[in-house]
Each structure stands twice: as C-alpha cells, then as structure tokens.
Structure 1
Amino acid sequence: MLRLLPAPLRGLLSGLLLVLNTLLWCWPLLALALLKLLPLPASRAWSRRLMGHVAECWADGNRAWMELLGDIRWQVEGLEDVRVRGSCLVICNHQSWVDIFVLQRHLNRRLPLLRFFLKQELIWIPLFGLCCWALDFPFMKRHSRAYLERHPEQRGADLATTRQACARLRGIPVALFNFLEGTRFTEAKHEQQQSPYRHLLRPRAGGIALAIDAMGEQLGALVDVTIHYPDGRPRFRDLLCGRLQRVVVHFAEREIPAQFLGRSYAEDETYRLQFQQWVNGLWSDKDARLERLQQQWPPRGPGHARGRARVSG
C-alpha cells in the first residue's frame, strides 16, 4: 500500500525513517564508545563488539524502510559464493551515494561490519563523524599536489596516517571497504582523466595497498563488487522517493596474492608497479563485466544514454 503513495510523499517518509533510524542507534553507539577511552583492553574489545552489533542494526533498519517504501527489483550474481571468514577487503565501482546502501543491504551480517576509507574532514560532520570514529573507520588525510609543492616535508604523511588508521584495526574482524576510483563516475571526470576504461575511472591502488601493508595476513580475501543501474545512475533522492526500480549487483571473491604481503607500497618501487598492474587487471575485468551487464540489462526506454543518464520521474 505504501508503495502506491506519490513519490514526493514516499521521499518524505523515507527521509524521516532514515533520520529516526539513525538517531535511534547513534546514541547507544556513542555511549559504548566511551568505554574505548578506558585503559582496559577487555572493555575496549567488549565495546567494539557491541558497537558492531549496533551498526548492523542500523543497516537492518535502512533495509527495512527501503523495502517498505521502495519497489526495487534486484538481480544479484555470485553472492552465494562469497564465503569469507574473518577480515577481508571489499572494492566496488562508484556511481552514486546509493552504492553504499546497496552494499549494506547485501553484505550486512554476511561479512564483518563494512568500514570505509573516509576523508579526514568528514570527522567534523555532527554525529556522523563521531559515529565513524567510534567504529574505527580509517580516516585518510590527503594533501593536494599544490600543497605538497609548498610543503615538501609533508610528502608521505598522508600514507603514514592511512597506515596508522589501518593498523588500529588489527585483531578486529573487519570488511575494509574502498571505492578505488576515489570519486563518483561522471562523463566529465571520465573525459578529464582520459580513462582507458569504458565504464570506469582510473583506480587508485594506494589505499588498499596500505591496508594490506598494515593488516597483512589478517585479510583473508578480496570481495570484488560491481554495481549496474540499468535505468541510469540514481540520485539519493531517487532511492528515497522509490524511483529506483532495477539494480544489478555482481559479487566475486578473489585471493590476495601472497607476494603482496609484508611489503611496503611506499618504499618498494618494484612491488608498487606489480601491485598497480594487479589492480589494473581487476579494473579491466570489471570494465568488461559492466559492458556485459549493460548489454544484458539495458535501459527500458528512450532517453537513457547507455545506463549513464540519471533516473527521471
């Protein structure tokens, strides 16, 4: 019945449920985070486990309002073959903020809690930043090329910060997530980068290389996710208003090559080139997969530019 409501009203209800769900779970999360400040290893471990359960309940709540007010038809490939036990890396192409909710819907409670690489500036967003800090999300501090030219002594500082953030997750079951493109796909960015891939921006290998460097053999596998929106890249309000109708998600579990463990991406040039070649190979496979998915699940009507136009309505 609720799915028959006009789109603006569904958007209002979805937004309200999202806010209420967030407020419901953020306060117990922040209360448990206080235990992290105690100099007792047992209390820290106990609080981390409970905070993980709280975050999973928040993701469950998001799935509930999506199914209550939305009408998404899912086509999922390979999820039953993902059998990771313990910690892992998760990578995905990035088209929309909707991607995060798609990933949570399918991976929540199947993998350990997804933890995203975040820009350090996001820690100052009210509630959001505190919750991400409480859950040990790795914050990355990146300097622009112009800044590094003015302050050459800061070269490598962003890599060191990322390594320290990942090292704090040692001993905790995690699914460490990274959008390798670093930003959402747009035609303008694709042209500006002169990307060699048809459906993807150039990948940035440094983030997951540092994660492997910091966490080593704790990472049991790589989960490679590919998302395709047949009717165009959605905006977040399209998800809220129930306009998002079809989503195709492909999952593949891959091994992390053993020769990449115990090596330094920043200091070993040979390893850096080998790692970049491996990531480029993953991205070439993903580009071919997206081409297949776009041919298998094309737009249903005129006005969609090969799956890259936004959802309308």
Structure 2
Amino acid sequence: MPKLFAPIIFVITTILTLVFTMFCSVPMVIAGVFKLLLPFKVVSRGVSAFCNFMMWCWCVSLALILKITNRIEWDIEGAEDLSKQTWYLLISNHKSWTDIVSLCVVMRNRIPMNKYFLKQQLAWVPFIGIACWALDMPFMRRYSRAYLIKHPEKRGKDIETTRHSCEKFRNHPTTIVNFVEGSRFTEQKREQLNSPYQNLLPPKSAGIALALNVLGAQFDRILNVTLYYPENEAKPFIDLLSGQMKRIVIRIETLPVDDSIRGDYMNDKAFKRQFQQWLHEVWQRKDLLLSQLKEQFSKPQQ
C-alpha cells in the first residue's frame, strides 16, 4: 500500500482487529463461566471444542484483515508434512507482536490450535484468565531454587501441577508454543545479555524442558520455526498495521522427540547440561539461517 495511506490503514486495521478480537473473546469468556459453574466432563469438552473454534475464527479474521490491508508475499518452507492430528511443541525466535499474528495465520489450518504455557498469576486477571482457562491453556506454578531449599516438601509440586493441567491434552492433538528467548529481540538486549548469537537472544531452556518432561512421549515432533521480515526489520508490527508489510519469511525445521531431550531438568544436573547443549545447537543453526536469509534478501549494492 502507498505510504500516503499508512495512517488511515493503521486506524482501519486497529479497529478491525479490536472488533474481531472482542467478537471472538467474549463468547469464550461466557463459555468459560459455564465451564466453571458446571464442572462436568461433557461440559468441559464441549466448551474446549467451542473455544478452539472461536480461536480458529480469530485466526481467520486476522488472515482476512491482512489480505485487505497488506500485499504480503508469504515465503514459507517446511510446512508440507504438518498435520492437525499430531502433537507438537513449537519453538520460535521472537522479534515482534507480528510473530504471533504470523503463526496464527500460517498455522491455523496446518496444526492444532496453539496453546501457551502461562504464569499462574495470569489465572486471576479479569477476562484474560478465564478465557485462557476456557481454551485449556496450562497455568504453570514455578518454585525458585531458594524457595525449594527452605520448603523441600514442595519439590516436584510444580511439575505435578503442570502435568495435571496438561492431562486434557492427551485426549486431542495439541500444539504448545514457546518463544524460547523469553523477550522480543533488540540489538540493545543482545548486547546487554552478551548473547553469543548475531541475530538472537540466548534461549531459556527451562520452559520447554518442563513441557517435554510433563507431557512425556505425548509430543510427536518439535517444530523449530524461524521468522524473518526482510523489508520491515525495524518496526514490523507498525508496518503490518499500516499496510506496509511486504514479505514474511517462515522456515520450519521438524525435530524428533526422544529420550535424549526428556528428563528431570530441575534436579538432574547432567541432563540439564545435555539439554542446554542441545538447545544451544538448535539456536546456532537458527542464527546461521537468519544470517543467510539476511544475505539472501539484502538489497543489491549500487
């Protein structure tokens, strides 16, 4: 879209997004109330199915908004063999809020609806907590090492709490999403954290290690997703809202799940080192891929 119209498109996109978000989220909140008041399996399963459908509708609405307001060239590789009948753990780099939109739009018909591990405190946030609960998103209660030293009887309780909240995932295919860096990437953060990578922040391994430990052999595959916005690196989300997004590059690497990456991360030091090394190697490949993509899509020298 011409830059002249960017402010107008920004307003239109923002309004449409808010309207569709409210349209999809309010029914989920109402359904969550029914689920809370009627704690029966048949009700719970019905609410879960309904909320997953509303989440899918939200993803469809985002795709429609992008089609109306942007002229995006989607460059996707590695999505050929994905299935909605498979359990996935999806890990990705994190540059912008655009990442969530991109994953929703691209993956909505390829894999099961995304679920995010959330902090226990979010369960008590009005509307957000009950909507996420209705969507069966697991709430994690994590204890620090210092707390466990003072309260050894709590050791393993965080694992059990998370495992219990994930039991329902055994009944239907699910995708768990984790932005492993824990924060959106900026050059300033990369320097502050003394990152060993050129294009990434250091990955945080505890979250996905816990997910793999909790769900055991439930996951069929790990999806290592790399997101890149060649012409819109500086402000991808603003550009997306303004109709200025030109290209979204998505590379998907499918990794196996085996016993080498399932174990007690919190208490087994040898496994913890092994898992961190495995994730470091995954992140090295991602960093190299991003460098290659930057070179591939760089403007020719004049």
Contact 1:220 / 1:256 at 8 angstroms: preserved in 2? yes
Residue in structure 1 matched with residue 68 of structure 2 by the alignment? 68
Unaligned runs of 5+ in 1: 303-313
Contact 2:33 / 2:130 at 8 angstroms: preserved in 1? no
Q: Alpha carbons of 1:236 and 1:46: their partners in 2 closer, same or farther (altered >3 Å)?
A: same
Residue in structure 2 matched with residue 44 of structure 1 by the alignment? 44
Residues in 2 aligned to 1:250 and 1:187: alpha-carbon distance in whole angstroms? 22
For 1:74, what is the secondary structure of its paired residue?
A: strand
Contact 2:84 / 2:109 at 8 angstroms: preserved in 1? no
Counterpart residue identity of residue 50, structure 2 = L
Residue in structure 2 matched with residue 17 of structure 1 by the alignment? 16
Residue in structure 1 matched with residue 252 of structure 2 by the alignment? 251
Deviations 1:111-138 (A, max 9, x none): 1111123344545555334322221223
For 1:223, what is the secondary structure of its paired residue?
A: strand
Q: How many residues align?
A: 298
Residue in structure 2 matched with residue 110 of structure 1 by the alignment? 110
Q: Alpha carbons of 1:144 and 1:218: their partners in 2 closer, same or farther (altered >3 Å)?
A: closer
Identity of aligned residues (%): 35
Contact 2:84 / 2:173 at 8 angstroms: preserved in 1? no
Within-5 A mapping of 1:288-303? 288-298=288-298
Residue in structure 2 matched with residue 279 of structure 1 by the alignment? 279
Residue in structure 1 matched with residue 138 of structure 2 by the alignment? 138
Q: Alpha carbons of 1:128 and 1:39: their partners in 2 closer, same or farther (altered >3 Å)?
A: closer
Q: Alpha carbons of 1:300 and 1:71: their partners in 2 closer, same or farther (altered >3 Å)?
A: farther
60-69 or 267-276, which deviates more: 267-276
Residue in structure 2 matched with residue 175 of structure 1 by the alignment? 175
Residues in 2 aligned to 1:300 and 1:94: alpha-carbon distance in whole angstroms? 27
Residue in structure 1 matched with residue 25 of structure 2 by the alignment? 26
Contact 1:189 / 1:201 at 8 angstroms: preserved in 2? yes
Q: Alpha carbons of 1:169 and 1:5: their partners in 2 closer, same or farther (altered >3 Å)?
A: farther
Residue in structure 2 matched with residue 310 of structure 1 by the alignment? none
Residues in 2 aligned to 1:141 and 1:173: alpha-carbon distance in whole angstroms? 24
For 1:195, what is the secondary structure of its paired residue?
A: coil
Residues in 1 aligned to 2:124 and 2:242: alpha-carbon distance in whole angstroms? 28
Q: Alpha carbons of 1:184 and 1:254: their partners in 2 closer, same or farther (altered >3 Å)?
A: same
Residues in 1 aligned to 2:113 and 2:188: alpha-carbon distance in whole angstroms? 33
For 1:81, what is the secondary structure of its paired residue?
A: coil
Counterpart residue identity of residue 29, structure 1 = M
Unaligned runs of 5+ in 2: none
Residue in structure 1 matched with residue 94 of structure 2 by the alignment? 94
CA shift, 1:239, in A, is 1.3
Counterpart residue identity of residue 254, structure 1 = L
CA shift, 1:144, in A, is 8.2
Residues in 2 aligned to 1:301 and 1:56: alpha-carbon distance in whole angstroms? 43
